């Protein structure tokens, strides 16, 4: 139950070669847990997720899935590796209907589309109700719901999420984060970036703090929730460079 | 004037077929492809070759069908020409345009496309000769629909319009009923999201060239059937087809269709006022109007 | 002695045309090499200058307008400015849009321009073109040999002048602004610079230079016709810039001479070697060669033959 599903070691990555955003980052994700990455703006949190997803080029270091090296994988092969990625914004196709969005993602899956769709619609009745509507006509919260549904549709083992609560009302945020909690009950592991620190720490099992492209601190979320060092890092005070 | 309208609709349907492929490539690769129109010539000439080959191999194929100037051998040559032209478009991208865009400058692709257009057009001229040809040497009688005002239509024109509409219907069904169609629309809207959703971009790009090239070949053959075949067909149609994409909005297939008809009809209507020598300039005037009034065209998204 | 004069005569003729075209290439270099603007209708701006010069400076003709007999320098400058006017109109409409719109529109301008001059007989002489132009100072210098050499010197003088002007422009604050905008437009904007205005200026100045080249061309032949403003001219000038090295004024001039030499040489070889029936195709083969040169250079040596010493990043990904 506690094996490592994803291991990131000594990762150096950035959009432009020679100007890395991430400098020697390490992270471990254990099965069925929620790991949250927090840190000040510009810390490289999103970049880390994107580097795992293969969107941002990796200069050195490794990303290991179980026992398989997936460093710098092609983004379109993520689903095959049982990884799903939910971007922060523009994470659904506005010009396609809800149903078409889901059918599109399910192209990569070997499962029967219709029955999988039925299951998903049972899990997300709001999406079922509006399935013929175009993605662009949905509210912010509904779009996020669709994005998560799309991520779940291919039955991933790992979900990467970039600020799932961004732009959402407190209620919608609550719903999304509860959804994330429920996902892990089925053995899916979640790695997410969040700006909403308190809520993230309450939700997660483990937490990594990133600043200036490096690890600063990590530990069980419950402990960090009460640790004053966390606040200091955010306010620009104490800097711990993890070995 | 109704004659002008009818001719404009016919010409417009040909432009529409040509514009669909162009608008898709312009949107997905951000690349104004000046060699796209040459695919129309290529398609027409490939069809010409196979038309002759088939009718030599089996002379019965050489008979025209009904009152059309269409022969059975041309009907057989049609799908072949489409596939060959589509594949050529795909290969040209793979070996030339793709390499150039991997080096970084998108505009260099535009310039390369000028070079590719020169090569295709003049190779055709070199191989097939510079003279104008027709698919069939039979004289086709136009049907008089009305005497006053005088309206005449060739059976070929009706057939071409009909087949064009069928082709567009098929394309529409693909776009709205198949997951491949969803993938095309997804890539058009948001390529990076499409990628992380499991779509291999290079496949979609290749298929876009294949489809665009095939449609262009169809347009070229239809133009050849209702007008003529010669090496400068592509050169003459470059600007009207671009105008169609701009009118419709770059990236919108339905816009390209509508744009094609608008440019075709407007071009013919303009002949009522302007001397015919000025007709090459009409698409340019249309482009200027669109840029003045509504730069993104009818359905364009204005993705910078 | 006769042959020597013949050789010199031909060389002067060749070099005059090459130099005139080099001026046009310099104008294109400002637009493309320095500012990243794609001008798909060079022939129109070249032609605008050519036609305007003849109309302004020519003698009155019965069948068409013009023949204002302006003092030659005024006619020449007027032609160049007319080209600038055309560029201003086109630029205002298209420069704020995506880059390939400019390519399409300028291409359209060239098509429209050719169509216009071919058909508006009363203004442009239609397909027959415009004559009735007295070459400057031709009355004074009677010997054609001496005249051609003098004209050549005049052209070279202008070429050097424009070259120096452009080199100065590149190292001036305006030039720095151009580079800044190419590298990071949003940063430039936040500093209060107006990229659209800068691009328009560059486009217009480049077109004025092309118009000047056109005016010189028309003056040299004392004749201009629609055949001189066909798209082929645009491709030739582009090929010259690509071969010499975009962004590089020396390369632009070198490219002009190289391509013009290749063009005339290939034309000469093809017409000598080809049998009578194939004579029709010499142009076709030349066009294929130009196409191959363009595509080949872009694939293998996009920086041109004369590499720019100061390599400014050419990447313009604006996502």
Which CATH number characterizes residue A225's domain? 3.40.50.300
| pTM, rounded to two decimals | 0.87
Domain that holds residue A46: 4-92+157-234
Look at residue C83 in the predicted model and tell me its pLDDT.
96
Interchain pair A93, B195: CB under 8 A:
no
Q: Which residues of C touch B287 (CB under 8 A)?
A: 104-105, 108
Look at residue B209 in the predicted model and tell me its pLDDT.
95
Q: Which residues of chain A have pLDDT under 70?
A: 1-2, 231-243
C104 phi/psi in degrees, rounded to 5: -65, -45
Which of B122, B238, B281 lies nearest to residue C288, judging by beta carbons? B122
Which of C94, C99, C293 lies nearest to residue B107, judging by beta carbons? C99
Which of A53, A76, A91 lies nearest to residue B200, judging by beta carbons? A76
**Which range (A215-229, B250-264, C40-54, C152-166) has the least confidence?**
A215-229
CA B121 to chain C, closest CA, distance in angstroms equals 9
Calpha distance B52→B133 (Å, rounded)? 12
Residue C281 lies in a domain: no
Rounded percentage of chain C residues whose pLDDT exceeds 70: 92
Look at residue B200 in the predicted model and tell me its pLDDT.
93
> Residues 280 to 319 of C: which have CB under 8 A from any B CB?
280-281, 284-285, 287-288, 290-295, 298-299, 302, 314-318
Residue C58 lies in a domain: yes
Look at residue C64 in the predicted model and tell me its pLDDT.
67
Summarised one tens digit per residue, pLDDT across range B54-69 is 888 887 777 777 767 7
Q: Residue B43's beta-bridge partner residues?
A: none
Look at residue B67 in the predicted model and tell me its pLDDT.
67
Residue C275 lies in a domain: no
Give the sign of the dihedral formed by CA B193, CA B197, CA B201, CA B204: negative
Look at residue C310 in the predicted model and tell me its pLDDT.
45
Return the CA Rg of chain B: 19
Which of A91, A103, A107 lies nearest to residue B193, judging by beta carbons? A91
**Which range (B36-40, B271-275, C158-162, C273-277) has the least confidence?**
C273-277
Residue C166 lies in a domain: yes
The structural domain count of chain C equals 1
Interchain pair A76, B199: CB under 8 A:
yes
Domain that holds residue C157: 2-230
pLDDT of residue C136 exceeding 80, the answer is no
Q: Which residues of A touch B201 (CB under 8 A)?
A: 76
Residue C102 lies in a domain: yes
Q: Residue A16's beta-bridge partner residues?
A: A19
Calpha distance B100→C314 (Å, rounded)? 13
CA B106 to chain A, closest CA, distance in angstroms equals 19
**Which range (B107-111, B280-284, C46-50, C315-319) has the least confidence?**
C315-319
Residue A161 lies in a domain: yes
The structural domain count of chain A equals 1
Residue C276 lies in a domain: no
pLDDT of residue C319 exceeding 50, the answer is no
Q: How many Cα atoms occupy the beta-carbon half-sphere of C293 within 13 Å?
A: 24
Q: Are B212 and B89 in contact (CB under 8 A)?
A: yes
Look at residue B301 in the predicted model and tell me its pLDDT.
65
Stronger pLDDT, A160 or C187, i.e. the higher one: A160
Look at residue C311 in the predicted model and tell me its pLDDT.
41
Residue C61 lies in a domain: yes
Calpha distance C88→C74 (Å, rounded)? 20
Q: Which residues of B touch C116 (CB under 8 A)?
A: 278, 281
CA A156 to chain B, closest CA, distance in angstroms equals 12
> CB within 8 A of B136, min separation 6: which ones?
B64, B69, B70, B71, B74
DSSP class of residue A65 equals: E
Q: How many Cα atoms occupy the beta-carbon half-sphere of A84 within 13 Å?
A: 22
Q: Which residues of C touch B304 (CB under 8 A)?
A: 98, 318
The first and second tokens of residue C288, run together, are 């294929």
Residue in chain A lying closest to B186 (CA): A93
Q: Which residues of C touch B111 (CB under 8 A)?
A: 38, 238, 242, 294, 298
Q: Which residues of chain B have pLDDT under 50?
A: 304
The first and second tokens of residue B21, run together, are 């492929």
Stronger pLDDT, B185 or C135, i.e. the higher one: B185
Place of tokens 């059976």: B155
Rounded percentage of chain A residues whose pLDDT exceeds 90: 52
Residue from C34, C43, C99, C112 whose CB has the most chain B CBs within 10 Å, to mutate: C112
Q: Residue A69's beta-bridge partner residues?
A: A64
Residue C174 lies in a domain: yes
Residue in chain B lying closest to A113 (CA): B179
Residue A240 lies in a domain: no
Provide the mean pLDDT of chain C. 85
> CB within 8 A of C171, min separation 6: which ones?
none
Residue A148 lies in a domain: no
Look at residue C126 in the predicted model and tell me its pLDDT.
80
The first and second tokens of residue B98, run together, are 């793709």
The first and second tokens of residue C272, run together, are 């000598």
Look at residue A243 in the predicted model and tell me its pLDDT.
37
Residues in chain B: 304
């Amino acid at each position: 139950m506690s094996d490592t599903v994803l291991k990131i070691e000594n990762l150096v990555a950035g959009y432009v070669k020679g100007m890395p955003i991430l400098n020697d980052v390490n992270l471990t994700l254990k099965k069925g847990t929620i790991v949250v990455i927090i840190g000040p703006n510009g810390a490289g949190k999103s970049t880390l997720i994107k580097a795992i997803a293969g969107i941002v080029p990796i200069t050195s270091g490794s990303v290991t899935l179980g026992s398989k090296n997936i460093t710098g994988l092609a983004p379109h092969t993520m689903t095959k590796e049982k990884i799903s990625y939910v971007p922060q914004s523009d994470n659904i196709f506005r010009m396609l209907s809800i149903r078409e969005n889901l059918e599109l993602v399910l192209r990569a899956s070997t499962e029967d589309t219709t029955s999988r769709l039925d299951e998903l619609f049972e899990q997300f009745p709001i999406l079922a109700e509006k399935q013929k509507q175009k993605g662009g006509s949905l509210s912010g919260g509904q779009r996020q719901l669709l994005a998560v549904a799309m991520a779940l549709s291919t039955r991933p083992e790992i979900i990467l999420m970039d600020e799932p609560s961004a732009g959402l009302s407190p209620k919608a945020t609550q719903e999304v984060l509860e959804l994330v909690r429920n996902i892990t009950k089925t053995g899916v592991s979640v790695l997410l970036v969040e700006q909403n620190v308190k809520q993230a720490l309450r939700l997660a099992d483990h937490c990594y703090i990133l600043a200036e492209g490096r690890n600063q601190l990590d530990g069980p979320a419950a402990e960090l929730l009460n640790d004053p060092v966390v606040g200091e890092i955010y306010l620009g005070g104490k800097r711990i460079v993890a070995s | 004037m109704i004659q002008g309208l009818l001719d404009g609709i016919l010409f417009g349907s040909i432009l529409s077929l040509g514009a669909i492929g162009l608008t898709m490539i312009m949107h997905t690769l951000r690349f104004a492809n000046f060699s796209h129109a040459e695919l129309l010539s290529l398609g027409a000439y490939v069809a010409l070759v196979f038309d002759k080959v088939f009718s030599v191999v089996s002379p019965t194929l050489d008979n025209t069908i009904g009152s059309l100037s269409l022969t059975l051998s041309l009907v057989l040559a049609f799908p072949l020409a489409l596939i060959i032209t589509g594949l050529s478009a795909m290969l040209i991208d793979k070996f030339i345009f793709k390499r150039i865009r991997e080096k970084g400058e998108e505009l260099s692709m535009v310039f390369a496309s000028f070079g590719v257009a020169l090569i295709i057009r003049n190779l055709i001229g070199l191989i097939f000769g510079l003279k104008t040809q027709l698919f069939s040497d039979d004289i086709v009688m136009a049907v008089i629909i009305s005497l006053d005002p005088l309206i005449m239509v060739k059976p070929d024109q009706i057939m071409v319009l009909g087949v064009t509409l069928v082709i567009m219907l098929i394309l529409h069904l693909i776009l709205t009923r198949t997951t491949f169609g969803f993938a095309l629309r997804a890539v058009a809207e948001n390529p990076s999201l499409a990628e992380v959703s499991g779509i291999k971009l290079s496949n979609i790009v290749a298929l876009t060239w294949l489809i665009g090239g095939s449609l262009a070949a169809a347009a070229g053959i239809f133009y050849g059937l209702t007008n003529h075949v010669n090496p400068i067909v592509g050169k003459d149609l470059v600007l009207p087809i671009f105008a169609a994409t701009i009118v419709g909005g770059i990236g919108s297939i339905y816009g390209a269709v509508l744009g094609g008809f608008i440019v075709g009809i407007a071009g013919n209507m303009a002949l009522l006022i302007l001397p015919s020598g000025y007709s090459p300039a009409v698409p340019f005037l249309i482009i200027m109007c669109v840029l003045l009034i509504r730069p993104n065209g009818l359905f364009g998204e204005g993705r910078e | 002695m006769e042959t020597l004069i013949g050789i010199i005569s031909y060389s002067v003729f060749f070099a005059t045309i090459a130099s005139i075209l080099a001026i046009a290439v310099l104008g294109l270099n400002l637009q493309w090499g320095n500012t990243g603007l794609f001008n798909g209708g060079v022939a129109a701006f070249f032609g605008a200058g050519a036609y305007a010069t003849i109309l302004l400076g020519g003698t009155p003709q019965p069948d068409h307008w013009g023949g204002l007999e302006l003092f030659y320098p005024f006619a020449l400058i007027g032609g160049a400015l007319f080209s600038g006017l055309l560029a201003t109109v086109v630029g205002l409409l298209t420069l704020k849009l995506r880059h390939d719109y400019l390519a399409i529109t300028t291409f359209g301008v060239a098509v429209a321009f050719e169509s216009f001059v071919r058909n508006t007989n009363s203004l442009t002489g239609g397909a027959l073109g415009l004559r009735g132009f007295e070459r400057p100072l031709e009355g004074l210098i009677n010997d054609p040999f001496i005249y051609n050499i003098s004209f050549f010197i005049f052209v070279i003088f202008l070429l050097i002048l424009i070259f120096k002007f452009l080199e100065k422009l590149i190292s001036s604050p305006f030039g720095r602004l151009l580079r800044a905008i190419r590298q990071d437009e949003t940063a430039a904007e936040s500093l209060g610079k107006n990229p659209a205005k800068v691009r328009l200026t560059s486009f217009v100045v480049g077109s004025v230079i092309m118009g000047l080249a056109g005016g010189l061309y028309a003056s040299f032949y004392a004749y201009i016709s629609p055949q001189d403003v066909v798209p082929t001219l645009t491709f030739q000038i582009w090929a010259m810039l690509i071969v010499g090295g975009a962004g590089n004024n020396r390369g632009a001039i070198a490219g002009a001479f190289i391509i013009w030499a290749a063009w005339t040489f290939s034309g000469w070889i093809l017409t000598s070697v080809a049998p009578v029936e194939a004579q029709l195709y010499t142009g076709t083969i030349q066009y294929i060669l130009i196409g191959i040169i363009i595509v080949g250079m872009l694939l293998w040596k996009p920086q041109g033959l004369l590499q720019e010493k100061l390599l400014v990043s050419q990447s313009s990904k604006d996502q």
